[in-house]
Amino acid sequence: MLSKTSEIEINADGTRRGLSNLAVQMIAFGGSIGTGLFLGAGSTIHKTGPSIMLIYLVIGVFFFFMMRAIGEMMYSDPEQHTFVSFIGKYISPRFGYFAAWSYWAELILAGMAELTAISTYIKYWLPNTPAWIVQIFFLATLTIVNLSMVRSFGRSETFLSGIKIVAILVLIVVGIYMIAVHHENPAGTHASLSNLTDGFTMFPNGFHSFINAFPMVFFAFQGMEFVGITTAETKQPLKVLPHAVNQIIGRILLFYIGALFIIMTITPWRSLSQSQSPFVQIFELAGLPAASQIINLVVIAAACSTLNSAIFSTGRHLYQLAQESTGKTMNPFEKVSKSGIPYGSVLFSAGMMILAPIISSFNSLGEAFTFIASISSDIYILVCILTMVAHWKYRHSKDFLDNGFKMPHYKITNPLTILLFVGIFITLFFNKETLLPAVGALVWLVGFNIILSFSNKKELDS
């Protein structure tokens, strides 16, 4: 049941539908376009050269299929606060618990990583400011934003994501101009389309490097699924959800592939430094002396955007877990404020992120955190696979809406998506840097389910 107050729909549980279509789109941008593009694109380009654009296109298409699967399930039940709840509903409660708690923990770790990154970038301007002060300030500020109203979160995310979008658009416009005038670089090269085609080979660093680029690109799209966490607080979800899902992937691919295309066209891709942001390098080639400072500001906005979305998402996941739990210990996380915010779950999730300042103070803890974060990222692939399995089972359940927002050609696209995600997970075992985290993800999957089977099997299977 829904009621309306000041044109804002109020759900039966007290949460409010205050997010617009624009806000939902920006939340997806905020989650999937982050520091990886602005800082890490150089390393990604060096893996495969121009072929990286093909990898982005392939992964992007299959992420679109996953988003359509999530969108179809959310359309059938728009009052769910997280898409992960469908795993418990259509596969098994045990796998639902695994996915929900694992995804919540993954987002907590992601938020902590962004806090650490923000303090690092701020040192560019304030080198003598203690990192823990910077981290607490940003965490407190964004937590307050999340605790006010859902519309406040939507506006803040629109602003932060807008900064990133403007930076990418400026790069593309400047790049087009440099190509048009055949701009000469200090090294004597020129901005030209031939920088992409001269000496082109699909696997410039070998087939192994090409395959290893797939997980890197896969994780770059992580966060797009945040759309499946906003539905319960989105205005007119049955109208907004289909538009948001269909529009997001094309625009994100445009920004990712467009930026990479421009970067590799302005200068030969082998000349790009892996240690410096390619955005900084291109703007410096264009004669912009303040490039480093501008991109540092953009990167801070990108990190804040991801942290902002992490606080929102972890709060909703914990709230959903509390609603589905029969234990009294979860009751505080079910409380909703008068403004429609599940403040207990938001405060607890944000409080967990406060561990970041402590961890960053000890090198040994920092190394352990990096390893655990890598395991958590790998678990994200397992959650994506389970989501697709849940969608397949939804299609064969009594809940299926034949006139709903259906995933196209699901009998083909669903298994292919699962196959690709499984393939990406398998590639992790053939790289010494990703082998141990991948093993850790499997250990967590098996161990979590063993623990559940001994602790509350009767409750879960009832």
pTM of the model: 0.90
Distance CA 99, CA 93 (A): 10
| Average pLDDT of the segment spanning 195-211 | 91
Is the pLDDT at 409 greater than 70, yes or no?
yes
> Measuring CA to CA, which residue among 62, 87, 25, 5 is closest to residue 391?
87
SS3 388: helix
| Average pLDDT of the segment spanning 326-342 | 85
Distance CA 321, CA 53 (A): 38
Please report whether residue 377 resides in a domain: no
Q: Could you identify the residue written with the tokens 């967590």?
A: 444
Distance CA 328, CA 221 (A): 37
Domain boundaries, position 268: 17-207+217-370
| Average pLDDT of the segment spanning 224-241 | 84
Please report whether residue 177 resides in a domain: yes
Please report whether residue 379 resides in a domain: no
- Tens digit of each residue's pLDDT (9 = 90 or more) over 136-160: 999 999 999 999 888 888 888 889 9
Please report whether residue 10 resides in a domain: no
What is the tally of structural domains in the chain? 1
Please report whether residue 381 resides in a domain: no
Please report whether residue 422 resides in a domain: no
**CATH number reported for the structural domain that contains residue 193 in this entry:** 1.20.1740.10
Please report whether residue 201 resides in a domain: yes
Between residues 456 and 349, the one the model is more confident about: 349
Q: Which residues contact 111 (CB under 8 A, 6 or more apart)?
A: 306, 307, 310, 311, 314, 349, 353, 356
Please report whether residue 425 resides in a domain: no
Burial of residue 172, with CB atoms counted within 10 A of its CB: 0-12 exposed, 13-18 middle, 19 or more buried: middle
Instruction: Output the pLDDT for position 110.
Output: 86
Length of the chain: 462
Between residues 15 and 296, the one the model is more confident about: 296
What percent of the chain has a predicted confidence (pLDDT) above 90?
44
> Measuring CA to CA, which residue among 313, 353, 22, 36 is closest to residue 164?
36
